[in-house]
Amino acid sequence: MIRIASMVGGPDLETPTLAPYSGDLEQACQKLAALGYDGIELMTKQPSALDAARLQAVLTDNQLNLVGLCTGHVFGEDRLGLVTPELQIDRQAIARLKEFIDFAVLFGNGTMVNIGRTRGVGDPKQLQRTLSVAREAIQELADYAQPGKVRLILEPINKAENNFIHSTQDGLELVKMVNRTNFGLMLDTYHMFLEDVDLICSLHESAPYCWHWHFSDSNRRWPGNALIRFDIIIDNLNSIGYDGFVGTEIQAWPDPDTAARFSIEYLRKFIPVVNDPTL
């Protein structure tokens, strides 16, 4: 069954993130659990600075899952990305993402680590060489993650925000190049709205490789606020037997509490509550 998560910004972030709540993880988890969310995704840039035992206790107290770790601020704040403009592997970026993998291991159950902007900038004029370097870097990370059963998920990002891998089809190409069983896709409806020819066709094409979804509307606000037909997306996810999380990654508009509440109220029209907390 499909379950619903929300992005939460970690206390280590220095700039705003796409989440209703940031900073105080305990308060964020309490509010999201009270609204009926099933899990959280954690946006952080230095997980080694976080108290994993305390986070686990907070999640347990609130009956929430840690679905995955998001890495966008590693690039956004610290400017670390796997593929440099000179088409080299950035060893600092590799080291930082291995910190994420080490942290994810502590939470088990195939916890995911997202690779979005942290893939780096590469050189869009030399796309095949850029993809080759990205493949080598991600293979190293996937092999490092395999013993701990951590999964890596690649997020296609629209061309206004990133130099390569914009559409679902671009992402599928790299997933197949990397060829690791613990490396797949995560899809974001906002980026798909901007880049994909047909969102529903992409959903079906990527089904064997897509392990997670980000939901935000076409204006980057709460689902149901603008143009994207989430009812149709969820119908199709059910038709392919998708059994994972959809996570909201949204602007905290018009305010954090309203954004979190409107998101879950809208999505619960199509996604029923899962009563078994072990799922």
Find, among 62, 16, 68, the residue nearest to 47 by Cα.
68
- Chain-centroid distance of CA 118 in Å reads 12
Report the alpha-carbon distance of residue 19 to residue 34 in Å, rounded: 17
Report the alpha-carbon distance of residue 183 to residue 6 in Å, rounded: 22
DSSP state of 47: G
Please give the pLDDT value at position 109: 73
Structural tokens at position 268: 């619960």
Amino acid at 267: L
Please give the pLDDT value at position 276: 62
Phi/psi at 30 (5° precision): -60, -45
List the chain pLDDT tens, one digit each, 279 residues. 999 999 999 999 999 999 999 999 999 999 999 999 999 999 999 999 999 999 999 999 999 999 999 999 999 999 999 999 999 999 999 999 999 999 999 998 789 999 999 999 999 999 999 999 999 999 999 999 999 999 999 999 999 999 999 999 999 999 999 999 999 999 999 999 999 999 999 999 999 999 999 999 999 999 999 999 999 999 999 999 999 999 999 999 999 999 999 999 999 999 999 876 554
What is the sign, positive or negative, of the torsion defined by CA atoms of 243, 57, 12, 106? negative
- Chain-centroid distance of CA 83 in Å reads 19
| Block residue for tokens 């780096």 | 120
Amino acid at 1: M
Structural tokens at position 125: 């004029």
Structural tokens at position 50: 């976080």
Tens of pLDDT, residues 253-263 = 999 999 999 99
Residues 6 or more apart whose Cβ sits within 8 Å of residue 148: 101, 102, 104, 105
Reported pTM: 0.96
Q: List the beta bridge partners of residue 185.
A: 154, 210
Tens of pLDDT, residues 40-63 = 999 999 999 999 999 999 999 999
Q: Which long-range contacts (CB under 8 A, 24 or more apart) does 52-55 make?
A: 52/103, 52/106, 52/107, 55/25
Please give the pLDDT value at position 108: 85
Find, among 144, 148, 143, 220, the residue nearest to 189 by Cα.
220
Please give the pLDDT value at position 279: 47
- The domains of the chain, with CATH numbers, are 3-267 (3.20.20.150)
Find, among 153, 170, 161, 151, the residue nearest to 190 by Cα.
161
Bond before 16 cis per omega within 30 degrees = no
Q: Are 71 and 114 in contact (CB under 8 A)?
A: yes
Q: Are 247 and 7 in contact (CB under 8 A)?
A: yes
